[in-house]
Amino acid sequence: MARSLFNRKKQNTQASQNKQQPQAAAGKNITKNLDSNLEEIKKLLGNPSDLVTRELMIGGLETRAAIIYINGLTDKDLINDNILKTIQLNMKQFESNVLEKIYQEVIAITDIKKSTTMDEVSSAILNGSTAFYLDEMDTVLLMGTSGGETRSIEEPSTESLIRGPKDGFVESIETNIALIRRDIRDPNLRFKQHEVGKRSKQKLVVSYVEGIVNQEIVDEIDRRLKTIDVDIVADSAYVEQWIEDSFLSIFPQIANTERPDRVSTALTQGKVAILVEGTPFVLLAPTALSETLQSMEDYNQRWVAATLQRTLRYFSAFIAVFLPGLYIALVSYHPGMIPSTLVFSIAASREGVPFPAAVEAVLMAATFEILHEAGIRLPKVIGQTVGIVGGLVIGEAAVSAGIVSPIMVIVTALTAIATFSVPSYSIAITFRILRFSLMIAAALLGLYGIIIVYIMVNIHLVNMKSIGVPYTAPFAPSFVSDWRDLIIRAPITKLIQRPIYLKPTDEQSKDTKPE
């Protein structure tokens, strides 16, 4: 099925490559007439209100010139101080070859280049550059003056840690790249630039460490990125959904993070990071199921604590997925397995509840999902109200009204808490879906149904891949040496090998050889 998807994508790309851009001015060169040039560029951009055109006379020569930029995308101080002011102050000295001199001597901006095509000029302006036109010249100077309002680096709100770096990615891709560069000062660190979004023309950067990463993974990701055909990439999730291996699966096949430290660690392990302009979420590929239950915190705590935390997470993942299903199976099918005292008290508490356990469980689980959904997008203040309404009113009231049994409330609450203790939000959604299917299976066939679904999920998992890497690695195919960073997080000094399941070019991360 994944294969057919890919064929489709391929055809799409070919189709889109054949299409030419519709704009009239596209592909044109700069003329020697300033007025017509300005006219052209305004026409190309649709003469927007935020386009600033500043015409000026250059000193003794009496030559007309103009600078053009878009208000808000640019750093105005930079334009005033390092372009306008320097030109106006220095211009009187020049007699001939003005443009070259300005290019070489006057402009105090490092990022400057010449251009002769309208296309380049317009896209540079849209990227926040300032264009300098000189009359009677068919060359334009493009000066990197992008700036304007951006969010400053803050602690990521979705992945907060007790201990660890407090910086997070922002919407600016340059800042994000810089954040990674600050962590990895290896000259082999690569940032390969792509452009995505037919209309948005965003930058997308594929980052990896050459010499560690398996080149085939990079090539595969590149190939898939080239198939992307959308108007705008509002978030890296667009990219994720486009390049993942199986869009039918409920499991997330590419990880995302807001944390530079996580990206740097992943890069040094041989993974590939995909940064998209305009979003703080960076994609990490390939990923494995086991990694969804790991947190950066694991490496910042001492190994015993980290191991115990991971064990706890596996346990809570088990609860999050299985508990309501098990409850249904045990209560409706196998009461013999529950200790006698407990089964009598469950029976007592369920007496008077009009629904079978399955309906009761689905009802409560659905209520919880609705509450969860309602709370997510609300402002914090109202969010608390939702909590109170949900927790107190529905929980208490449902029990006293005799709609659900108290034990079901416990099961639901425990499941909810367990779901929240899963570190990755995307896998938590998967768990929620699985939970419902297990509940249905348990309602139909009891424990047998649960195990049948469990086996089916496993079959699905073992056939799944993330950018070609088996999703269940390193459990199966089993890479025993990777197990030291799986459920057990071995002491840092023992973590001498990079994950073998990624087949890195350079397996050793430390010089010491394993015994």
Partner 1 sequence: MRTFKYGDEQIRTRDIMIAVPSMLIAIGIIIFPRELADKTIAADGWVSILFGGMIAILAVWLVTKLAASFPNQSFLSYASYLVTKPVAIVITFLFSVQGILLSAFEVRAISDISHQYLFDQTPIEVVALSFLLVVVYAVSGSRAGLFRLNSMFLPIIFLITTLLVFFSIVFINTDHLLPVFKTDAQGYVQGTIESTISFSGVGIGIFFFYISLVKKPEKAPAMAAFGMSWVVGLYIVVYLTCIAVFGENTTANIRFPLIELAKTIEIPGGFFERLDSVFFVIWIMAIFNTTALAFDVSVMALNSIFPKVDKLKIIFVLSPIVFFLAMIPNTYLEIGLFGRYVSYFGWGFVGVILIILWVMFKIKGAKQNEK
Partner 2 sequence: MKSKKILLICIYAFLSVVLSACWDAIEVEDKGFLSGVAIDLAEEQGENMTFEMTLQFVVPGGLGTATEAGGGKAFRNLSQTGESLYEINADIARQENRSTNTEHLKLILISTDIVEQEELFGNVINVFLRQSDMRRGMLLGIVDGKAKDLLEVEPEHVKIPAQYISELMENPRNTETIEQVRVGEIQEHLLANASFKIPQLAFFSDDRVNYEGVSIFEGDKTKMVGTLTGGEVKGLNFIIGKDQLGNIVADIEGEKAEFVILKGGSKIKLTNKNKENLKFQVDIDVETQLSQYEGTLDFYKQENLEKFEKSIEDAIKKMSEDALKKVKDELQADVLTFGNHLRMHHYELWEEIKDDWDHGKNYFSKSDATFNVEAIVREPGNTIKIQTKGDK
Residue 362 found at the interface with partner 2 (CB under 8 A): no
Burial label, 502 (beta-carbon count in 10 A; 0-12, 13-18, 19+) = buried
Q: Which residues contact 113 (CB under 8 A, 6 or more apart)?
A: 141, 142
Q: Which of residues 435-494 bind partner 2 (CB under 8 A)?
A: 443-446
| Site track 68-107 with partner 2 (rule: CB under 8 A), x = hit | ----------------------------------------
- CB distance 425 to 158 below 8 Å: yes
Residue 351 partner contact from partner 2, partner 1, none using kind-dependent CB cut-offs of 5 to 8 Å: partner 2
Q: How far is the CB of 214 from partner 1 (least distance, A)?
A: 7
Pairing of strands 112-115, 130-134: unpaired
d(CA 241, CA 250): 12
Q: Which long-range contacts (CB under 8 A, 24 or more apart) does 52-56 make?
A: 54/84, 56/84, 56/87, 56/88
| Share in percent of the chain as helix, strand, coil (round to 5) | 50, 15, 35
| Site track 177-216 with partner 1 (rule: CB under 8 A), x = hit | -------------------------------------x-x
Of 353 and 467, CB closest to partner 1: 467
Distances (CA, A) of 454 to 159, 448, 450, 457: 29, 10, 6, 5
Three-state SS string over 281-317 comes to: CEEEECCCHHHHHCCCHHHHCCHHHHHHHHHHHHHHH
Q: How far is the CB of 405 from partner 2 (least distance, A)?
A: 9
Q: How far is the CB of 332 from partner 2 (least distance, A)?
A: 4
Of 144 and 449, CB closest to partner 1: 449
Residue 38 found at the interface with partner 1 (CB under 8 A): no
Residue 1 found at the interface with partner 2 (CB under 8 A): yes
Near partner 1 by CB under 8 A: residue from 310, 472, 485, 486: 472
d(CA 491, CA 305): 11
Residue 451 partner contact from partner 2, partner 1, none using kind-dependent CB cut-offs of 5 to 8 Å: partner 1
**485 has which bridge partners?**
489
* Residues shown for the chain: 515
- CB distance 236 to 282 below 8 Å: yes
Residue 160 found at the interface with partner 1 (CB under 8 A): no
**52 has which bridge partners?**
69
Of 245 and 258, CB closest to partner 1: 245
Three-state SS string over 332-352 comes to: HHCHHHCCHHHHHHHHHHHCC
Distances (CA, A) of 471 to 483, 499, 503: 15, 13, 14
Near partner 2 by CB under 8 A: residue from 23, 175, 345, 437: 345
Of 128 and 335, CB closest to partner 2: 335
Of 314 and 436, CB closest to partner 2: 436
Near partner 2 by CB under 8 A: residue from 315, 318, 344, 425: 344
Residue 420 partner contact from partner 1, partner 2, none using kind-dependent CB cut-offs of 5 to 8 Å: none
| Footprint of partner 2 (CB under 8 A) | 1, 4, 331-337, 340, 343-351, 353, 356-358, 443-446
| Footprint of partner 1 (CB under 8 A) | 3, 6-7, 214, 216-217, 220, 223, 333-334, 336-340, 445-452, 455-456, 458-459, 462-463, 465, 467-470, 472, 475-478, 503
